[in-house]
Every structure is written in structure tokens, then in C-alpha cells.
């Protein structure tokens, strides 16, 4: 029995993306050029990257339904992701892409059966299930969102999850 199915995974993905959207909305557009260090992505670049990154999962799992992925597939998808992220040059465009691509992924996951989530996909570095690959997409987003939380602190913004926790604590006092 699978205790964490497609509905659970889709709900979890929606929560992660909702939190990323909140960060994108909380940071003023004039801070989108901010870089934590010279050789790092700017706020806009991180958010555009997150908006475009689901492309590979959409292609792999929902459109092409690949049973094996070659390095050439990843190379093609990464090129498409890079090109798409470069077109996201305003806060409004980034937020729209985060919403659209996020919901496309959630709906695709939600439509999968447990059997489909359990299917093995052949990869150059060893097989993974679709479940593992989609979980990796969510983990990738959470990694970058943690970077954005730190950047929020650096530009003087208290992250929304901290604000919510502090408000709940104050209400209990």
C-alpha cells in the first residue's frame, strides 16, 4: 500500500510553489537584481530558474512519458529551460510563469496513478521512479527557496513563514 499518492504529492508541490510565489511577491521588483555574492544568481534569475525548471518534468513525465532519459534529452530540456528563463525579465512575468508552470506540474502529478508514480525511468546514472524524480523537483525548489529566504533577510524582509510563526506565537501569549 502506498501511503503517499499522487494527490498528496500534488498538494505538497502546490504548497511549496505557493510559498515560492509568496517570496516572489514579497520582494520588491527593485530588489530583483540583488545578488548575495558576485558569482551567484540574482533574485530574478533564481525565480526565473524556478519558474522554468518544471519544463523538464512536464516533458519527461506528462508529455513524452519517457521510460528512459538520455543525456541528450537532459541537454535539450536544459537548453529550453535556459532560453525560457531568459525571457522572464519582469516581476509580473516571473510570477505568471511560476503560477502557470506550477499548476501544470501539480495537475500532471495529480492525474498520475500509483502505478505510474512507481514506474522506473532509465537514467544515465541509474534508474529512478517517477515518484523520486518528481520529489527531486520539489526538493530543488525548496533548496532555492531557502536561498531566497536568506536573501530576504539580507534586504531587510522577514520571510512570510517566520512572520506567520511569530504571529501565531504572539496570539498564544
152 found inside a domain: yes
55 found inside a domain: yes
CATH of the domain at 168: 1.20.120.450
For 92-144, the pLDDT digits (tens) are 999 999 999 999 999 999 999 999 999 999 999 999 999 999 999 999 999 99
**Residue 30 per-residue DSSP state:** G
- pLDDT for 66 beyond 70: yes
Segment 146-159 shows an average pLDDT of 96
pLDDT band at 4; cut points 50, 70, 90: confident
107 found inside a domain: yes
- pLDDT for 1 beyond 60: no
1 found inside a domain: no
- Domain, as residue range, for 35: 6-172
**Cβ atoms within 10 Å of 19's Cβ, excluding its own:** 18
Tell if the pTM clears 0.75, that is, is over it.
yes
Return the H-helix or E-strand segment holding 121.
Answer: strand 120-121
125 found inside a domain: yes
- pLDDT for 3 beyond 80: no
59 found inside a domain: yes
CA distance linking residue 105 with residue 14, whole number of Å? 9
46 found inside a domain: yes
Domain count, the chain: 1
Return the H-helix or E-strand segment holding 95.
Answer: helix 91-110
Q: Given this model, what pLDDT does residue 2 score? A: 60
Amino acid at each position: 500500500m502506498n501511503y503517499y499518492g499522487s494527490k498528496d504529492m500534488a498538494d505538497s508541490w502546490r504548497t511549496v510553489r505557493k510559498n515560492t510565489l509568496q517570496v516572489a511577491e514579497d520582494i520588491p521588483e527593485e530588489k530583483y537584481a540583488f545578488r548575495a555574492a558576485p558569482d551567484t544568481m540574482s533574485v530574478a534569475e533564481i525565480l526565473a530558474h524556478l519558474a522554468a525548471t518544471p519544463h523538464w518534468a512536464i516533458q519527461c513525465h506528462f508529455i513524452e512519458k519517457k521510460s528512459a532519459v538520455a543525456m541528450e534529452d537532459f541537454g535539450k530540456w536544459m537548453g529550453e529551460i535556459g532560453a525560457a528563463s531568459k525571457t522572464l525579465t519582469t516581476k509580473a512575468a516571473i510570477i505568471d510563469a511560476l503560477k502557470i508552470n506550477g499548476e501544470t506540474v501539480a495537475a500532471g502529478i495529480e492525474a498520475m496513478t500509483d502505478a505510474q508514480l512507481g514506474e522506473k525511468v532509465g537514467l544515465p546514472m541509474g534508474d529512478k521512479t517517477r515518484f523520486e524524480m518528481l520529489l527531486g523537483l520539489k526538493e530543488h525548489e525548496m533548496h532555492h527557496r531557502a536561498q531566497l529566504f536568506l536573501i530576504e533577510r539580507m534586504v531587510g524582509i522577514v520571510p512570510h513563514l517566520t512572520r506567520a510563526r511569530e504571529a501565531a506565537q504572539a496570539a498564544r501569549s
